[in-house]
Amino acid sequence: MKLADLNSFLRRAEAMGVFFYTKDTLQRAFPGDDPIALERALRRHVDAGQIVHPARNVYASLRAGLELPCAWASFVRFLRPLDRFYLSLESRLSELGAISQVSSTITLVSSGRSNLFATPYGRVEICHRNVLPEVSELDWDDRREIWLASPERAVADMKALARATLDLVDPDEVVEAQSEFVPCDPIP
């Protein structure tokens, strides 16, 4: 894969709003490259700063952080394409004003395994729960294209996952935020 070919691919993909790519996607886009040659070319393009390699088997356009309103939300779907997840815990409570501190890590709850990722888009922590909530406890954020926990669900997740920062949660703010929470309409 030559730089000109990569740039052509990136321009076409970005025109369609696609900024993240798996290695399998790139292999299909460049079928003439054998897997070892593709791996070497990708490493060369990452080292030269032409693309970003934020996680294993995931590559991104340099414009992903500039063009997307929340690059981390798009990125997470590539980290865990088969898992369900939603924004919760400290991140969600911070957004709601129930924790006075701004979370430096994006905290998500998932049906998949727990993990912590240090990415160009910030730190992303994925916490595992065996049972995910009903849709009535979640809301869909169109801008970020991600599910959001209700205030009460975020606190319940904190308790269930034994988060040390639970004492920072302002219960009055949780009650107020919950009274304003409008869950997503159930899908017919």
Residue 78 confidence (pLDDT): 75
Residue 111 zone, left/alpha/beta (φ > 0; ψ -120 to 50; rest): alpha
Residue 47 confidence (pLDDT): 93
Residue 188 confidence (pLDDT): 42
Residue 68 confidence (pLDDT): 57
- Structural domains present in the chain: 3-67 (1.10.10), 82-180 (no CATH)
Please give the average pLDDT of every successive group of 10 residues along the chain, which has 188 residues.
90 86 90 91 92 86 68 74 85 88 85 84 87 87 86 92 79 88 66
CB contact at 8 A, 26 and 32? no
- Alpha-carbon span 163 to 121, nearest angstrom: 23
CB contact at 8 A, 115 and 88? no
Residue 27 confidence (pLDDT): 92
CB contact at 8 A, 30 and 21? no
Structure tokens at 75: 């990125």
